[in-house]
Amino acid sequence: MGEHIIFIGFMGAGKTTVGRAAAKALDRRFLDTDRLIEEKAGMTISRMFETLGEAAFREEETRMLMELLNEKGPAVISVGGGLPLRRENRRLLRMLGNVVYLRVRPDTVWKRLDGDATRPLLQGKDAVERVKSLLGDRGPLYEAAARLVVDVDGKTVGQIIREVEEKIRKGME
């Protein structure tokens, strides 16, 4: 098994914020699949969805996980909210290391992402209902992909990181 720490979870769960802070605390490199895909494609994810379609973006996510298997040295990796939905991706995630599911409630997502224009899946009307229904569908898949689950609602980044470290340590005992 790989040695990385990988954060998965719904949009707005704090994967990037927590991932970046955890990388700093552990003195590791921080990688974010959304940013890596944007750099490689030379366009934003919104633009990718518009011009190439969601399916092309999903292909890039799987390709990126395969590339990350060659990443040397333990890193902290955050992945896009829809990445764990493919069975193949869940397998690759587990190969990369310790998969941590940052579990968030729909109301927290909504508070955090109200007015955000960078998530194509949450644009337009009925976004509140969409968050609820997507989270309902995805929750079991996130749980299937993860070794650890941490609830994030109402917690500070520091609290979340301490909980992650504690759970990883316990899992290793």
Interface residues toward ligand S3P, by CB under 6 A: 11, 15, 34, 45, 80-82, 119-121
Name all contacts of 84-92 with Cβ < 8 Å and 24+ positions apart.
Answer: 84/8, 84/138, 84/141, 84/142, 84/145, 85/138, 85/141, 86/58, 86/61, 86/62, 88/62, 89/61, 89/62, 89/65, 89/145, 90/141, 90/144, 90/145, 92/62, 92/65, 92/66
CB-nearer residue toward ligand S3P: 80 or 97: 80
Residues 6+ apart with CB under 8 A from 128: 106, 110
Q: Say whether 89 sits in a helix, a strand or coil.
A: helix
Q: Least Å distance between CB 30 and ligand S3P?
A: 13
Q: Which of 77, 79, 94 is nearest to 145 (CA)?
A: 94
CB-nearer residue toward ligand S3P: 138 or 170: 138
Q: Least Å distance between CB 13 and ligand S3P?
A: 7
Structure token pair of residue 63: 């390709």
Q: Which sign does the torsion angle of CA 89, 144, 13, 15 carry?
A: negative
CB-nearer residue toward ligand S3P: 1 or 108: 108
Q: Least Å distance between CB 74 and ligand S3P?
A: 21
CB-nearer residue toward ligand S3P: 107 or 166: 107
Q: Least Å distance between CB 169 and ligand S3P?
A: 27
Q: Least Å distance between CB 11 and ligand S3P?
A: 4
CB-nearer residue toward ligand S3P: 11 or 31: 11
